[in-house]
Structure 1
Amino acid sequence: MVTTIDDTKRMAIGERLADLRAFQSLIISNDQKLIDACPYEDVRERLQNMLSDDQKNLGIIDTVIVQYGIQSEPSAATKIFIPQFEKMMSGDEFTYYQKLIHHELMKHGQAMSGIMIHKAAQVVGADIEVAIGPLNTVNFEGRAHQEQLKGMLEQVGVREMTGQDAHQGLWARVQDAVAALSGVAGSITTQNTDKQDMNIQTLIRLDHEKVNTLFTEVGATKDPQKLQEYFGQIYKDLLAHAQAEEEVVYPKVRSFYGDDNTQELYNEQAQMKQMLDEIKAIDPANADGFRSKIKDLMDVVGDHIRQEEFTMFTAIDNNCTDEQKEQMATEFKAAKSKIQQEMSA
């Protein structure tokens, strides 16, 4: 019998993602504090642009966590640090320049955390790399913000000490670097999303890509521990995906996709859930038998994916506006997140 479907390394990455989200919310709060207290119009304008990026990036982090499939709480250290940092940034003990330094340090830590999550994903599993792909946008923009903040620190520091502006040579070079980095980040952002939510087809397709990667990982190993790890993620991902579709997507498409076509999707997912429970009861030490059952599941899921991507997606395009597709994505993501939290509990 499979006694657990959790994996320590995957849970650790889930906690780091929860930390990343908590710190992104802290950065947004601190952006606003710095804007409100800023005595310099040019610096305030740049901070306002950063705030817009950071709010968008919080949406991307939320999407990544839902695609990753493990809902975790931030670490104990993060829960201790955040209120202490907020208190420090709200007090009068530091000059504006000193507060800006701490904000730049926070940006640096956030960028490094995102990079480390990406590196850990490379070690743990290809499916994780697929799930966290949009995080690269946040990492690139965080690095761009760091460079911009360095230029802002130069100006603010000189102004506080002398009452005059710094010479513009280094500032101009910093701005050139920011423009180059932002161009790279912008291209990635465009490929993923320029909003806080992707449309519904993109979100569902990301789920499909991830589960197909997991099936590939199952096919490439006979190690019982790895088989259990990969199936554990398949089990959680498919159940959350199916339930969210049944709560949000299928009721909305039935009117134009048709009763018979929509019912077929429900029936396929019912079969899939039954197969998941059957596989969960098999000992992965019987590697060949375990993989054979997962191959049967893969065939059922493959047929289901093809129907959704080739016919349901077309029906959605033909009958829904961009705003309706984005709203459906928002509701799908929220439903999936709630389901994942309930599964974790």
Structure 2
Amino acid sequence: MSQYRSCLPLLDPDRLFLASGGLETSLVFHEGIDLPHFASFTLLKDDAGTVLIEQHFDRLGALARDRETGLMLSTPTWRANRDWGRKLGYSERALDEANRLAVDLLLRQRAKWQTPKTPVVISGTIGPRGDGYQADMRMSVDAARDYHRTQIETFAATQADLAGGNTLTYIDEAIGMALAARACAMPIFLSFTVETDGRLPSGETLRDAIERTDAETGSYASFFMINCAHPTHFKSTLQAGGDWVQRIRGLRANASRRSHAELNEALKLDDGDPIDLGEQYKELDGFFQRPMSIVGGCCGTDVRHVEQICRAIQRMGHA
């Protein structure tokens, strides 16, 4: 049974949790690994690939213990759903096994790094059915619920503490994920990505995404996050304020200020400025009535960025 599923420490406003940096971009650009379809879960097929992923989380675990923060570990299963699995040659049974192996890896990480001052929460990562940068293939709410339920059911049968829907580009898919999680009695958070104008790739506003998802699911999501965009892309959106902003508990931003289209074409990693990114987070934290609970990075970031983000937030007096 999950250690924290019935009482998520991620909801404690007095504790800071660190989340991972950009696993896939680190593997591709720093380790020189070829990741077909950006699917890091494929590395779990052998010991050498598993070690690479363990080393990524070891660096984050060591930082969390050193800074005396909590730690949210997310499985490397962003692409481990049916359509992407088929492209990668995985049967449904093999996908189920890959998702379970990913949770087992993080359970070993929890045993290694957890202390009374560093609680470790395990999130089962769910990615979009489509690209993650575009909203060109959309499902209805019902179709999204049915599509994502298989992966959520797998996580619900493991010791994962919650599921996390990441890089969501339109509202109906987020609603479907939340409804599937509710049917499985599995806690879930939902994380939207936005373009340089602060809107979802679908053109929908972040406010509408959160308010409509809550309205159609009975506010089932434990919280919302933003990921895969630079803070300058959504700063003015958060600055406008409103009750919906307070449903956001964390950020995993890109290091680069480039648009998704520019990043898609980039042949060289844009890892930005870790110190500047930390200062950007500190400024955004001021828009929330309570401090952000979860901070980490997305594309182009690694443990250097997460450390600077952590230091900037802790300088503000976060517990």
Higher strand proportion (structure 1 or 2): 2
Higher helix proportion (structure 1 or 2): 1
Structure-1-length-normalised TM-score: 0.26
Query: Which has the higher Rg, Structure 1 or Structure 2?
Result: 1
Structure-2-length-normalised TM-score: 0.27
